Amino acid sequence: MPGIYSVYIISRSGGLIFNYDCDHNFVSSEVEKTFSYPLDVKLDYVHQKVTVTFGQRDGIRVGYALLAINGQPIGGRKLDDKDVIDDILANEDNYPINLKFGLQRLTTNEKIVLSSMFHSLYAIAALQICNKGRPIGSTGAAAGERQGFLKSSGIEIMETNNFRLNCLQTTTGVKFLIVSDLTVPANKDILLRKIYELYTDYALKNPFYSLDMPIRFVSLSL
Amino acid sequence: MSRQNAKNVDAKNKVSCDLFTLTYGSLVAQLIKDFDNTEEVNKQLDRMYGQGYNIGLRLVEDFLAKTNSGRCHDMKETADKIQSAFKMYLGVNPSVANWSAANDEFSLLIDSNPLAEYVELPDHLSQLKYSNVIPGVIRGALEMVQIEVQVWFVQDFLKGDATTELRIKFIRKLEDALPAGED
């Protein structure tokens, strides 16, 4: 589906129970380049990744992580027992050197952390009260109720400069999240409800699925 | 419980009722074999960890997703929704009656109970609450939307009563379990 990056389902207690990334909608940010000594990009070890912190050039941007050295992929700051920053990149004998940079996708752990964080933010938003807003409830939030103070729902839409997050919380408390591009229509109600229906049909009607546990699936094409 | 869109909720009954009735019959028969005493079978069909309750926990999501209905704020609304759920899942249209003075207790009168079709209770099973799965389902489903109720059979067609009457009593709202942003 165009413009959709990811779908998340968060359980009643704030745990991530399902995540799907539309891989074909992610554009690769990887840049590969050969450097000579001394290295003119400033690298630091941030969040367990060797990251560009200063010296933006040739499409290599601040925040990009070092993904590979001479074609050899690295994770963390060690390569063949040598420290990437102190031993390899600081040593003139290793140059010219080919480095690959790029933004790294979220790991499963990071997604779990972010999901529970969103769960709390949603609850914080719901603490706000307001006396104007759209009437809630299907059975006539009558005129009397609209004049008084209304308690807010949680976060329904969240926008940044390059993506939008839509959230549907069901009456039982399960949250469905869609992360999408700003170029596609903002209203995701129908899609969210459709995903809710799929969840009830294919996750809950599976007798081997226990409630509030991660949903395992074999294949799904959105 | 076949796939359907919110639009054609009423156009139910894609699966033959008989298949459902007979499958339920074999479930009850098996439970009677597994547990010697009738009381235990009743519990299995209804109780906390029994069949009905667990079905209710899951079925409520299906109902909410397909009918797009919101939270209930009083028992009358709840009664309406239970009524439409019966129509949706069992193809019967029970009537709501006998409200208590405090509006927290009502009866569902079911003319024909699809679970109990083709069923006659033998004498030694007179204590068996054959359709006890239904109270369990209702309890489980309402608990997921943070309403605690008590549900029991007052009259049962199988026991020689004129009709099947299900009594539903509101106990309390489960405030602790209420999700944020829902009132």
Average pLDDT value over all residues in chain A: 85
CA–CA gap between residue A198 and residue A59 (Å, rounded): 41
Interchain CB contact of A197 with B (< 8 Å)? yes
Backbone angles phi and psi of A169, in degrees to 5: -105, 130
Q: Is the pLDDT of residue A203 over 50?
A: yes
- Categorize the per-residue pLDDT at B35 as very low, low, confident or very high, splitting at 50, 70 and 90: confident
User: A4-25+107-131+151-205 and A30-102 share one CATH topology?
Assistant: no
- In terms of DSSP H, where are the helices of chain B? 17-34, 38-46, 51-67, 75-90, 133-144
Adjacent-strand bridge partners of A33: A99
Contact of A154 with chain B, judged by CB distance below 8 Å, is answered with yes
- C-alpha separations of B145 from A89, B11, B102, B149, B183 in Å: 58, 26, 21, 11, 11
Of the candidates A154, A218, A215, A162, which has an alpha carbon nearest to the alpha carbon of residue A7?
A: A215
Residue for token pair 């990056």: A5
**Chain A residues in contact with B69 (beta carbon < 8 A):** 138
Does A47 have pLDDT greater than 90?
no
**Residue B167 and residue B152: Cα distance in Å, rounded?**
5
pLDDT of B52 > 90? The answer is no
Give the nearest partner residue to A200 out of B62, B145, B181, using CB atoms. B62
Q: Which CATH architecture has domain A30-102?
A: Roll (2.30)
Q: Name the interface residues of B facing A (CB cutoff 8 Å).
A: 1, 3, 57-58, 60-62, 64-66, 68-71, 73, 77, 144-145, 177, 179-183
- Considering the segment(s) B3-173 as one domain, its CATH architecture is 2-Layer Sandwich (3.30)
Query: Both tokens of residue A28?
Result: 């690769």
Confidence of residue B4 (pLDDT cuts 50, 70, 90): very low
All structural domains of chain A with their residue ranges: 4-25+107-131+151-205, 30-102
pLDDT digits (tens, 9 = 90+) for A109-158: 999 999 999 999 999 988 877 766 565 554 444 444 455 667 788 899 99
- The CATH class of the A4-25+107-131+151-205 domain is alpha beta
- For the stretch B151-173, pLDDT in tens is 999 998 888 888 899 999 999 99
Selected residue with higher pLDDT from B119 and A174: A174
Say what the pLDDT of residue A139 is.
47
